[in-house]
Structure 1
Amino acid sequence: MSARSPLSPRSTGDPTRLRDAWIALAGLSAVFLFEMLDNSVLTVALPTIGRDLAAPTAALQWVSGAYSVAFGGLMLLFGSVADRFGRRRTMLVGLVLLALVSASTVLVTSVEQLVVVRALMGLAAAMTTPGSMALTFRLFTGDDLRVRALTVVSTAGLVGLAVGPTISGFVLAVAPWQVLLVANAPIALVALVGIRAGVRPDRPADLHREPVDLVGAVLGTVVVVGVLVTPTLAVTVSRSSAWAAAAVTVAALVGFVVRERSARSPMLDLALVARPLVASGLAYKAAAGLATAGLSYMVTLQLQSAWGWPPALAAIGTLPQVVVLLASGRFVGPFVHRVGVERAAWTSAAAVVVGLAVFTVLGRTGYPAVAVALVLVAAGMRVVGAVAGNNVLAGLPAERTSIGAALVDTASELATAVGIAATGTVLAALVPGSVTAAHPTAAHAAAVVGAIQVAGVLVTGVAALFVGIGVARARSGSRPSDPASSGTPAPATTTTTQESSRA
């Protein structure tokens, strides 16, 4: 994100203060708000949705998973499309789609219809997210204003992530769950107006004209879907179906690797992903996303389905996480400065995994253990969200930072989807009937708690493995401050880390 960035505007008349671009910043902030608010408000509502639509557990997990699959699987494709046909144009089309699909939630009468709506929302999010960082960069010419603008935009998303469960709980106390998804429509309209009025169209000189790697995009999407569908098929259909899906997934993965290594214009340059800083940053981000998604899903089900808490009380139960996310920002910068970027990355990712482990081992003993787990996960996520992304960008050449941002978001979304899929699959296999039974018996509640512990062990182990991979890859490479390896001047990287940590 230095002055040498290929996204630097060349025209005169660029805003010299944040207030000069407040319309554009409001629109871009709304995009990030939707991205982070969407799944967080839905988490608390899942038991209510399950009862209202008579959804089995395996289908219910796809209410969240369908969004993540579409978002994560298509983000790199639409990042490539935006670089070629216009970031602003692609984002505006995605926002129109988002508004229409969100409004259509009022027509949903079955869980299958809701899964389709969620998948289309993920498609719209994939069209809007990759270009948002590039558009924010292009609003200003100086590093200082760019960093401050990114801080404003990312803070909006963080607020959405933090307050989403609380908002969801209180809305469900007075209104139907459909309101939570229809609310995305006005958010999309605010973003549409702000970006259309405040952001200039892309100049032809800022766009690439290489052909889009559609073959690579299709193969990559098949891999993502296969990873998520295979365990569900093993529980809900048959083992033979699961093995067939696994075979297709492996074949698609091999084909994807071969295609990206041989294509003249690959969708994803695998050599860049293998760089130590990039690989470690993505591993830390995946560990945090996996643990956070798994914990959110399991805490919601334990509080409501096992302990019988109403949605509003369950929302209050998540407040420790909200408080830490909102109040810890001022401490992130000094912490990173004191321990260094590399140590901050792995310790914060490890804190998220430890929080999940605390819930897995002690969560059934009472709410205090749940609160401790929420605090640890929130504190770790607050730091890793800044430093892991910084490491990815620092490990890439200056002209590849936009694909780096897409990689970070993709890793997070895929990890979230895997966390939900793994947890939901274990619950579907171990809990008789639906986990969202309206009047659970003591035996049913005990089965839910036991299944949550099994799922917690599984997700904790996988997340810990990602942290270990991240540490190993980071040690095999050079430090983020080494400009020779990062492709980005060290002073700009340091500034970005400190400012992003305050977001």
Structure 2
Amino acid sequence: MSVDVMPARATSLRAVWPAILGLSVVFLVEMLDNSVLNVALPTIARDLHATAADLQWITSGYSLLFGGLMIAFGAIADRFGTRRMMLVGLVLFALANLAVLVVRTPGELIAVRAAIGVTAAMTAPGTMALCFRLFDAENLLMRATGVISSVGLIGLAAGPTLGGLLLQVSSWQTLLVINVPIAVLAIGCIGFGIPADDATNRNRTPLDLLGALLGTATIILALWSATLVVENGWLTAAPALIGAVLSAIGFVVRERTTAHPLIDIALIKRPTVSAGLAYQAALGLGMAALAYSVTLQLQLVWGWSPAEAALGNLPQIVVMLAIGPFVEKIVDRLGAGVAGPLGAAAVVAGLLIYALLGRDSYAWIALALAVAAAGMRVVMIIATVTVMRGLPEDQTSTGAALNDTGQEVASSVGLAVTGTIVAAVLVGSLTDVGTSAAATHSFENAITAATLSLTAVCAALSVWAARRAAS
């Protein structure tokens, strides 16, 4: 499936539509895969007699391995071939999802979800790396990035609704089996639409296996620590957090001393790359602050149902989708050096609106979600293009993985910070919120304090990124 059907660099999206469709489908599955299964957790618990701990590992096992392995697989893809890694990953991804049909116990489902997480991590770095292989023109790169991410956002928004509808007419296993034909479609589009990897553009340096192990351990332990902090507090999370810190120290020492580092620190220090990564970290914190706080407020304080709360978050997704086609025009008119800081300022403004006025009425929440979403969409696309443009072609998969992992880790840190502040300030328990005036008031104060704290960090990162990009 290595047919060259297009020029090395295309001059329009239409000329490479099979490739764009295939990459969009891959990103769709990544966004859809976790959210679509969440609505089935009660059904899974009944069918498999799963405990609360089992359900936690069914969801977190996927996300931990997916987030933790992306950088390692990105480095492997730069050496093995990005397109080849994508196709192998998609085949294994389809088989892993199909394996759900033989699941009979919670342990077997956890193993299947772990396998899906590993195979998804194999495909994730290639999405943007292969996209950047298609074009030279920056406006086309932004347009293509916008299209691919828009499809993913549709999956993120439609996931719970689609899952609920499928559960009405089919078993919960269908929610994973449906990924198989989607993966087959992606294999066909990418195999037909993207030329075979050029051996001259591969990274020829030896793979730093020790660095890969230390980096993977750092990310997995950091994500796990954040989950434990939110659910059980710092005491339970302490061993995982200590392990994450030790692994991180070991990783940095290894990368600074080895002759062939997994991640070249000198590349990360490039102004465009470091600025883009800082923007992505700011976005991760901002998204975490809104996603966690708004959902809890709508349900616990105002008594909305889960379905109503999901609809209440729609302004964020709708605005992101609506503004996507205009990002290229915004950057053309203002330049990335102006559009990036303006987008980041919109994110900060949205967070401030929610923190200071969100408890008064839903209108303020909707406005906060819309303003922050508009800024996030602009910054997200600019930051991705900036990071990828700042890297040599034989390290684009590693760069794409670093870009995605940075935002995911920052999002987990944001959730941990919010959960910690809520736990420290809350009077009583979360179940008392909405029924006890004291608990409700303390919860609202905690959410305000957490959002303002994350807003300050988000603003600081954005200012640093803007200054770094301008240097």
Query: Pick from 449, 467, 470: which aligns with 1:475?
Result: 467
Structure 1 residue 374 displacement after superposition: 1.7
AA paired with 2:446? V
Query: Pick from 77, 82, 93: which aligns with 2:77?
Result: 82
For 1:97 and 1:420, the matched residues in 2 are separated by 31
AA paired with 1:131? G
Is the 2:421–2:449 Cα contact (8 Å) retained in structure 1? Answer: no
Query: Pick from 439, 443, 448: which aligns with 2:435?
Result: 443
Is the 1:285–1:349 Cα contact (8 Å) retained in structure 2? Answer: no
Aligned residues: 465
* 2:449 is equivalent to residue 457 of structure 1: yes
Q: How does 1:81-120 map to 2 (within 5 A)?
A: 81-105=76-100, 117-120=112-115
- % identical equivalent positions: 47
For 1:266 and 1:48, the matched residues in 2 are separated by 45
Q: How does 1:278-297 map to 2 (within 5 A)?
A: 278-297=273-292
AA paired with 1:469? L
AA paired with 1:365? D
2:218 counterpart residue number: 223
Structure 1 residue 31 displacement after superposition: 0.6
* 2:315 is equivalent to residue 320 of structure 1: yes
Q: How does 1:218-257 map to 2 (within 5 A)?
A: 218-230=213-225, 233=228, 242-257=237-252
Structure 1 residue 400 displacement after superposition: 4.7
For 1:271 and 1:116, the matched residues in 2 are separated by 38
Structure 1 residue 268 displacement after superposition: 0.7
For 1:425 and 1:35, the matched residues in 2 are separated by 28
1:373 counterpart residue number: 368
For 2:233 and 2:306, the matched residues in 1 are separated by 34
Structure 1 residue 298 displacement after superposition: 3.2
AA paired with 1:94? G
Structure 1 residue 19 displacement after superposition: 5.0
AA paired with 2:457? L
Is the 1:427–1:448 Cα contact (8 Å) retained in structure 2? Answer: no
Is the 1:302–1:448 Cα contact (8 Å) retained in structure 2? Answer: no
Distance 1:450-1:227 versus aligned 2 partners, 3 A rule: farther
Is the 2:211–2:262 Cα contact (8 Å) retained in structure 1? Answer: yes
* 2:293 is equivalent to residue 298 of structure 1: yes
Q: How does 1:49-198 map to 2 (within 5 A)?
A: 65-105=60-100, 117-139=112-134, 149-164=144-159, 167=162, 179-198=174-193
For 2:433 and 2:146, the matched residues in 1 are separated by 48
Which deviates further from its counterpart, 258-267 or 401-410? 401-410
* 2:205 is equivalent to residue 210 of structure 1: yes
Structure 1 residue 261 displacement after superposition: 0.9
Is the 1:426–1:451 Cα contact (8 Å) retained in structure 2? Answer: no
TM-score (norm. length: structure 2): 0.81
Structure 1 residue 231 displacement after superposition: 5.3
For 1:312 and 1:143, the matched residues in 2 are separated by 40
Distance 1:35-1:209 versus aligned 2 partners, 3 A rule: same
Distance 1:355-1:232 versus aligned 2 partners, 3 A rule: same
Is the 1:169–1:313 Cα contact (8 Å) retained in structure 2? Answer: no
AA paired with 2:222? V
For 1:459 and 1:233, the matched residues in 2 are separated by 20
Matched position secondary structure for 1:205: helix
AA paired with 1:341? A
Is the 2:353–2:368 Cα contact (8 Å) retained in structure 1? Answer: yes
Query: Pick from 385, 392, 396: which aligns with 2:387?
Result: 392
Structure 2: gaps (5+ residues): none
Which deviates further from its counterpart, 308-317 or 272-281? 308-317
TM-score (norm. length: structure 1): 0.76
Structure 1 residue 132 displacement after superposition: 2.4
Structure 1 residue 281 displacement after superposition: 1.8
For 2:105 and 2:133, the matched residues in 1 are separated by 43
AA paired with 1:160? G
For 1:330 and 1:197, the matched residues in 2 are separated by 26
For 2:109 and 2:348, the matched residues in 1 are separated by 31
Structure 1 residue 47 displacement after superposition: 8.4
Which deviates further from its counterpart, 260-269 or 135-144? 135-144
Structure 1 residue 24 displacement after superposition: 3.3
Is the 2:276–2:465 Cα contact (8 Å) retained in structure 1? Answer: no
Is the 2:132–2:141 Cα contact (8 Å) retained in structure 1? Answer: yes
For 2:456 and 2:311, the matched residues in 1 are separated by 29
Structure 1 residue 201 displacement after superposition: 3.0
Query: Pick from 252, 260, 266: which aligns with 2:261?
Result: 266
Matched position secondary structure for 2:464: helix
For 1:451 and 1:193, the matched residues in 2 are separated by 50
Is the 1:75–1:126 Cα contact (8 Å) retained in structure 2? Answer: yes
Is the 1:24–1:194 Cα contact (8 Å) retained in structure 2? Answer: yes
Is the 1:223–1:249 Cα contact (8 Å) retained in structure 2? Answer: yes
Is the 1:61–1:421 Cα contact (8 Å) retained in structure 2? Answer: no
1:417 counterpart residue number: 412
Q: How does 1:484-495 map to 2 (within 5 A)?
A: none
For 2:345 and 2:59, the matched residues in 1 are separated by 25
For 1:118 and 1:344, the matched residues in 2 are separated by 39
AA paired with 1:327? A
AA paired with 1:377? A
Structure 1: gaps (5+ residues): 1-8, 480-503
For 1:232 and 1:171, the matched residues in 2 are separated by 28
2:403 counterpart residue number: 408
Distance 1:180-1:297 versus aligned 2 partners, 3 A rule: farther
Is the 1:83–1:207 Cα contact (8 Å) retained in structure 2? Answer: yes
Per-residue CA deviations over 1:261-289 (Å, capped at 9, x if unaligned) read 11111111112222333222212211112
For 2:195 and 2:453, the matched residues in 1 are separated by 47
Matched position secondary structure for 1:95: helix
For 1:363 and 1:115, the matched residues in 2 are separated by 38
Matched position secondary structure for 2:18: helix
Query: Pick from 344, 351, 356: which aligns with 1:349?
Result: 344
Distance 1:152-1:101 versus aligned 2 partners, 3 A rule: same
For 1:14 and 1:341, the matched residues in 2 are separated by 23
